[in-house]
Amino acid sequence: MIDQLNWSATIVFVVFFAVVTILGFVASRWKAGDLAQLQEWGLGGRRVGTGSTWFLLGGDLYTAYTVIAVPALVYAVGAYGFFAVPYTIIAYPLVFVTMPRLWSVAHRRGFLTAGDFVSGRYGNKWLELAVAFTGILATMPYIALQLIGMEKVIQALGFQGGGTLGSHLPLTIAFIILALYTYRSGLRAPAMIAFVKDFMIYAFVIAAIIIIPVKLGGYGAIFEAAQQAYDAAQKASDAKGSGATFGLLLKPAQFAAFITVAIGSAMALFMYPHSMTGVLSASSSNAIKRNSILLPAYSLVLGLIALMGFMGHAAGIKVSNPQDVVPQLFLKMFSDANWFVGFVFAAIAIGALVPAAVMSIGAANTFTRNIWRPFVQPNLTGAAEAFLAKLASLVVKVGALLVILFIPAKFAIDFQLLGGVWMIQVFPAVVFGLYTRWFNGWALLAGWAVGMALGTWLSLGAQGVTVTHSVFDLFIAYNGFVSVLANLAVSAVLTLLVPNTSPDTTGREDYESGASVHAAPVRGVAVAARG
């Protein structure tokens, strides 16, 4: 099982992994608060400043998806994999416009989740339930992607598990570590670890884009080798009649898919419970605005990381599973510096732990506030609410493991895109609700149901996860984008037939006066869920 271990790389990996694990437990003392209260455990007391928010959101949003799945897609198909770059660029103007407004309402009304806001805005607990269910469902494949990233780098170190249990032992270890420090420290753990994670990611990316091209003969040689690989793959595809498209540049048939995947993913990104958690933990709405301006720096790094897919071809990397390309690239190009390989693999693993922790916390907050409390135990005390959220965070991680085991996906990135197909369905209720009360809550619920059914039907077929689909045989589009248009159409038509008359517990002042408001420190005080 360990006979083939790269020991020097493994030792470095274990040291860094141990350091951040210790930080995860020590984090409970950072900006100390009563962790028996959900506001403290799940949102860090809403006291995360601009700098810390930048690291937290960066660690939350730029994940194993970034360093494993994106280069894997680029390696496999070419330019299409770069959709992740415009997607993140599009997302931040949306954040600048909408999230400070949501923070203002949430701060004034004690909302901790998107479901809280929807309940207060539309007075419809079933719509609240739909938003909560969607968030938890979409989070599980996203956590699964993080665990896949960890599994790949541990396997690349030389670990070979035997049997069913042994083959998933790295996932079991990841689950235990996540479970322990998330349960103890809540959001403070990933917030503190994110500092280390981001510095490590930036260090190995800078090294990679300078050293690897030098060893491979420059970027010209890299692009030429990648083009030759894609030309060969295209010829093979054409001979088989598979219809697959490969290339260093986008083909016309890929334009619509590329655009709709980028726009749809941007619309879904900040609807996720973990994104909401990162936003609502900020100390002020101005901190969110500043971060929406600063966070595109990560998009630059994302583009550089995606280039590693091209580098894999130039380095002659041949793998049956594209998710292995980045680990194998570093093993080959830094064979004379195994300590650096261990550093890189530790950065990737830590880059999976941070978002997985925030995701499980966000999903747990959602379950506790918007499913258990309104439907099972309305008089839940603050301490009981936090304890239940801690338990729920464990269950979410188990769900992520089941996703890996039972939902086949050709590319790890499909797990994230599948989550986006579901998560985008809450966009109308949340974002439009920030600006208008025109929509009827029941109409939005019906639109959500149609969007969820259509998106799931398009995405889950006999061949596993397929995130794009032909639209009337005219063009290929992202399933999330197509299904949310159906969602909006149903919601608008039904609202015209049955105008909104539901009570709104949010007032105009909640939307207009939050620009300079800062969250006051709250220690040991349970904030009411509804205004």
The 8-class DSSP code of residue 521 comes to P
Residue 170, domain member (yes or no): yes
Can you tell me the distance from the alpha carbon of 438 to that of 454, in angstroms, rounded to the nearest whole number? 25
CATH number at residue 100: 1.20.1730.10
Residue 211 has phi, psi (to 5 degrees) of: -75, -45
pLDDT tens digits for range 95-105: 999 999 999 99
What ranges in 368-440 are assigned the alpha helix state H?
Answer: 373-375, 382-406, 413-423, 427-431
Return the bridge partners of 85, or none.
none
Query: What is the count of structural domains for the chain?
Result: 1
Q: Mind listing the pLDDT tens digit for each residue in 4-37?
A: 777 888 898 888 888 887 887 776 666 555 566 6
Residue 390 forms part of a structural domain = yes
Residue 234, Cβ density class (10 Å: 0-12 exposed, 13-18 middle, ≥19 buried): middle
Q: In the chain, what percentage of residues exceed pLDDT 70?
A: 79
For the entire predicted model, the pTM comes to: 0.83
Mean pLDDT of 527-531: 33
Decide if 421 is inside a domain: yes
User: pLDDT band at 521, cuts 50/70/90?
Assistant: very low
Span 360-383, mean pLDDT?
85
Q: Which of 171-180, 444-453, 483-492 has the lowest mean pLDDT?
A: 171-180
Quote the CA–CA distance of 206 and 88 in Å, as a whole number.
20
Phi, psi (deg, nearest 5) at residue 389: -65, -40
For the segment 72-100, the average pLDDT, to the nearest whole number, is 90
In a domain, 423, yes or no: yes
Residue 98 lies in a domain: yes
Question: What band does 258 get if pLDDT is binned at 50, 70 and 90?
Answer: very high
Overall size of the chain counted in residues: 531
User: Which of 72, 21, 60 lies closest to 139 in space, CA to CA?
Assistant: 60
In this structure, the number of other CB atoms found within 10 A of the CB of residue 169 comes to: 16
Residue 520, domain member (yes or no): no
Average pLDDT over residues 188-195: 75
Q: Which domain does 31 fall in, by range?
A: 7-512
Within 8 A by CB and 6+ apart from 312, the residues are: 71, 75, 319, 325, 326, 328, 329
> 116, 530 in Cβ contact below 8 A?
yes
Place of tokens 């437990």: 25
**Is residue 529 one of the residues assigned to a domain?**
no
Given this model, what pLDDT does residue 99 score? 92
Report how many helices (DSSP H) and strands (DSSP E) the chain contains, helices first: 26, 4
- Assigned domain for 531 exists: no
Alpha-carbon span 455 to 484, nearest angstrom: 8
Mean pLDDT score across all residues of the chain: 81
